[in-house]
Amino acid sequence: MTTAMRERVLIVLVCGLCYLNFGGGAFHYDDFHSLVENPHIRTLANMPIFFADPSAFSADAEKKMYRPLLLVSYAVQYALHGYEPLGFLLGNLLLHIAASLLIGALAGQILGDRQAAFFSALFFAAHPLAGEPVNYISSRSESLAACCYLATLLLAMRGRRTGALVFYGVGLLVKSVVLTAPALLWLYDRWLGDERRPWSHYLPYAIVAGGYLALISYNRFLGGALAAPVRDTATQLLTQLKALSYYIYLIAMPWRLNVEHQFFEADSYADAAVVAGAGLLASLAWLAWLGRGKLPGMVLCWSAVVLLPTTVMPLNMIVNERRLYLVLACLALGAGYLARRLDRRWQWAWLLCAVGLCLQRNPVWQSELVLWQDAVEKAPEMYRAQANLGKALQLEGRNEEALAVYQRAIAIDDRQADALNNVATLYHLKGDVDQAIPWYLQALERNPQLEEVHQNLADAYAKLGANDKAIAAYRRALAIESGKGDIWSNYGLLLYETGDIAAATQAYEKAIELLPEQAEPYNNLANIYVDNGDYSRAETLYLEALRLIPQQSGQILANLGDLYQLMGDFAAGRSRLGEAIDLMPTHADWHFRLGRLERKAGQAVAAKAAFSRAIALDGEHARARVEMAELLGESQAWQPAVGEYRQALMVRPDYSRAWFGLATALDTIGDVQGAIAAYREFLSAWPNQDQRARDAQARISALVGGP
């Protein structure tokens, strides 16, 4: 094995050692909307969409981004191993290894010193600030873009411009920060290269960049990103002046790392941190000027260039560690340059410390709860840290603790809507809808464009029976975002319950169009076709729903069983209900439905056994008791039938079918007064003037006027 190969193997081993204990990790933060909840990445057939539609980036249309090759990497891995976090994290680690090897090659090209290049690669591989792009799946955008960026520089410096242009274009389809790569090439050519190239040499890069900008303008991503900046330009620049010294601190002393640093906007030119940042920037600019034509000046300029996009563009997070990934790549060149002047023992000592810090930090990423507990401990005044800790506690079922944390988040910043919505959701889940609704309304005061909150509010109104308000809230949600299938599905259910069958059908059809891989809208639409007597269409929809969730399909199997009963195919119905019971043997309603089928099939013994099992599992199953009572009456067992009817009425005092059955049974056994009272209760509970009502009135007249 050659020396160069041994060094590459050692770089790979150091990367592996640094992340030896990431242990499979978990999904975090942006991973949920862009990966876990994103239906677009679940089929490779959607890959062409990634290159055309920025909204494919996320399950939340408001969080659209144009990063098609990042989505391709997600889709390929999902096809290989589904939602297994370890697989995605290993993908991140491989990208970090690739970036580290590219740093070694680039440093060798620039420094012309194999040992210095080797240390550059080790510096980058082991620096703890690289931990976020490895442990946090969504930070893959940084490492994948960095690989393209570094490959562009390396190939260009080796005179392979076609390859460099290819990687430049590919990198732009990962993240727009790659736009700055030609500026680094120009600086290199002017300061360290063998010749000064004419401007025409860089024209192909400008053409590729122009094509990319035209593309993101055409698909409306660029306009959307610029339309509503999160802070004004002056505040952004003052804040990033303050951030400069903080970034230098993190690079030099990376032992108090955090997913959410306690760092606030600057609001004044007189802010001491802003003044200090301005002084530091001036000093670095002066040093870069003094070092022009030499590597130290080059490193400073390169670092400034790669930070420029996030310095100018206002982003939600003021500072974060992953933005420093490419900066580390630049600084790694400087580290290799300085390593030539340091004793090798100091290099290995630094490497051991860096590996130790990585191993110490990795376990924080093991779960959302641990990550945000660490964030709150280090940054207790940050709203996002508190809000995300509350969400993590909520997902763990620790709702009271979550409620307290959400309250702390609201105390920090009551302008934000998400914590208010989450408080409302906690009350909603507890069944306290009256308490939840005011919190939903407060959330909408802060941000009336949150369709999720309108949907939650609609669900709450529906639970209260305030159907008009619920329908209005669903319509507002759909006016904001008509592309969310779950809103259409819930809206359809409410329309169905209120009797607007035509509108419910349209809503379910829209939900199926948007959520073709979710079973619920298929099942609900099938229920409508059953009501309309279109059994063939209903069967097709039930079977499609069953195909989508074969392991969690009790309700669908039971519905199929009922459908086959209506179709007269008792064997098929019996089989489907048996499957439902096998899945959930303690579910009383499935036994009740089986009993109902057996009764219709003329199998009285089997029907009684099924009803008995339903009653044993749920003593308050009134319908099972009434069906059992009717069977007992058919076999002339009137006294036990009376007992079952009375038990059913204790559960449902307005159950008209039970009152009629009880009246008939009492009438049969000669309990005149009891029968009269039961017939009258039936008439008060049964509003229809049909044959049954007329029979009850006739029997009352006969019993009252009898001897």
Give me the pLDDT at residue 216, please. 86
Residues 533/535/538/543 CA torsion (nearest 10 deg): 160
pLDDT in tens, 91-141: 999 999 999 999 999 999 998 888 999 999 999 999 999 999 999 999 999
Question: What pLDDT, in 10s, does the model give residues 525-578?
Answer: 999 999 999 999 999 999 999 998 876 688 999 999 999 999 999 999 999 999
Spatial separation of the C-alpha atoms in residues 77 and 91, rounded to whole Å = 8
pLDDT, residue 225, reads: 52
% of the chain residues with pLDDT over 70: 98
**495 falls in which pLDDT band (50, 70, 90)?**
very high
* Contact yes or no for 696/683 (Cβ under 8 A): yes
CB contact burial 196-212 (16+ within 10 A = b; e otherwise):
eeeeebbeebeebbeeb
Evaluate if residue 40 carries a pLDDT over 70.
yes
What value does the mean pLDDT take over residues 82-98?
A: 95
Q: Name the residue type at position 476.
A: R
**Which tens digits make up the pLDDT trace of 347-357?**
889 999 999 99
As a whole number of angstroms, the distance between CA 569 and CA 549 comes to: 24
Q: Which CATH code for domain 619-707?
A: 1.25.40.10
**pLDDT-wise least confident of 187-201, 580-594, 691-705:** 187-201
Give the integer Cα–Cα distance in Å for 15 and 213: 35
Residues 469-494: tens digit of each pLDDT: 999 999 999 999 888 888 999 999 99
On whether the CB atoms of residues 170 and 148 are closer than 8 A, the answer is yes
Highest mean pLDDT pick, 56-65, 212-221, 224-233, 679-688: 679-688
pLDDT band at 219 (very low <50, low <70, confident <90, very high): confident
Task: Compute the Cα dihedral for 495, 499, 502, 505 and give only its sign.
Answer: positive
Give the three-state DSSP class for 171: helix
User: To which H or E segment does residue 260 belong?
Assistant: none
363: nearest Cα among 641, 9, 24: 24
Tokens, residue 574: 């019996």
Of 555, 521, 558, the closest CA to residue 541 belongs to 521
Looking only at Cα atoms, what is the longest distance across the chain?
Answer: 124
Residue type for position 471? I
Mean pLDDT of 18-45: 88
Q: What is the pLDDT of residue 484?
A: 84
The pLDDT-based confidence of 707 (bands split at 50, 70, 90) is very low
Residue with tokens 């949907």: 455
Quickly state the pLDDT bin for 64 (edges 50, 70, 90). Answer: confident
Task: Give residue-wise pLDDT tens across range 322-345.
Answer: 999 999 999 999 888 888 777 778
- Binned at pLDDT 50, 70 and 90, residue 87 comes out as very high
Distances (CA, A) of 221 to 52, 62, 209: 10, 11, 15
Percentage of the chain lying above the pLDDT 90 cut: 68
The pLDDT of 294-310, averaged and rounded, is 86
Among all chains, which residue has been given the structure tokens 């003094």?
290
| CB-based contact 161:135 (threshold 8 Å) | no
pTM over 0.85: no
pLDDT above 70: residue 41: yes
Residues 190-199: what's their mean pLDDT? 80
First to last CA, the chain: 115
CA dist 538 and 544 (Å) reads: 10
The C-alpha atoms of residue 14 and residue 358 are separated, in whole angstroms, by 11
* Tens-digit pLDDT profile for residues 237-288: 888 888 888 999 999 999 899 999 998 888 788 788 888 888 888 888 888 7
User: Domain locations in the chain?
Assistant: 7-27+83-360, 619-707
- What is the average pLDDT score of the chain? 90
User: What does the pLDDT read at residue 527?
Assistant: 94
CA quadruple 91, 92, 97, 102: dihedral sign: positive
Of the pLDDT bands very low, low, confident and very high (cuts 50, 70, 90), residue 228 is: low
Per-residue pLDDT tens for 423-469?
A: 999 999 888 999 999 999 999 999 999 899 999 999 999 999 999 99
